[in-house]
Amino acid sequence: MGCHFIHFSSDYVYDRGLNRPITETDAVAGVGVYAASKLAGDVAVLRVLPTATIIRTSWVYSSEGHNFVKTMLRLGMERPELRVVFDQVGTPTYARDLADAVIMMLERIHSGQVPLSDAAGVFHYSNEGVCSWYDFARSIFKMTGLNCQLLPIESEEYPTPAQRPAYSVLNKKRFKAVFQLPIRHWEDALYDCLEVLLADAQ
């Protein structure tokens, strides 16, 4: 149809042995059903349409749907104490920032500022900065003034169906170089999301 195709993927697809910001060319592993299905999607998209853009992102949240931020707010109001994993490190991504980035990407592609060939393949997008899930929860409670005690725990104390990577900080150097777009720090984005949530609650 002549459309530019954008496919969203995940930090889960990478090899679990990395302990520095992950680049688009790092080895993929697809450990577990979720990761394997995401990786299979990436491969299928580029096989059918090599000019497609794949955006791998991480820790996505927003003021809509079910996500970590909304869960922490709910539990923080219901309970005096919460246990949150501290040994998984990554970067939160505000869905509104991701959506805005995609719109600006498309504007640059369609205006000819970014050649279609440069926009093809895998890119990383998340907000800037690094934190653990414990740090993320702590910022949520600090910004909202919730009086809930946080206790750091290890991943083995909180098993999940899809095993999360211990380190999934995404290197965004290629995205910045090709699209020349600014990326906010995750705490600035979180503040904006919380303002929306608190306004909706009033």
Residue 186: DSSP 8-state: H
Nearest to 157 by CA among 69, 82, 67: 82
Angstrom CA distances, 96 to 77, 100, 101, 160, stand at 25, 6, 9, 26
The H or E element that residue 138 is part of is helix 133-144
Please give the torsion angle defined by the CA atoms of residues 96, 101, 107 and 113, in that order, rounded to the nearest 10 degrees.
Answer: 170
Q: Which of 34, 61, 158, 191 is catalytic?
A: 34
Contact 155, 166 (CB under 8 A): yes
Contact 47, 76 (CB under 8 A): no
Q: Tell me, yes or no, if 191 is annotated catalytic.
A: no
Q: Are strands 89-90 and 131-132 parallel, antiparallel or unpaired?
A: antiparallel
Q: How far apart are CA 36 and CA 127, in angstroms?
A: 25
Catalytic residues: 34
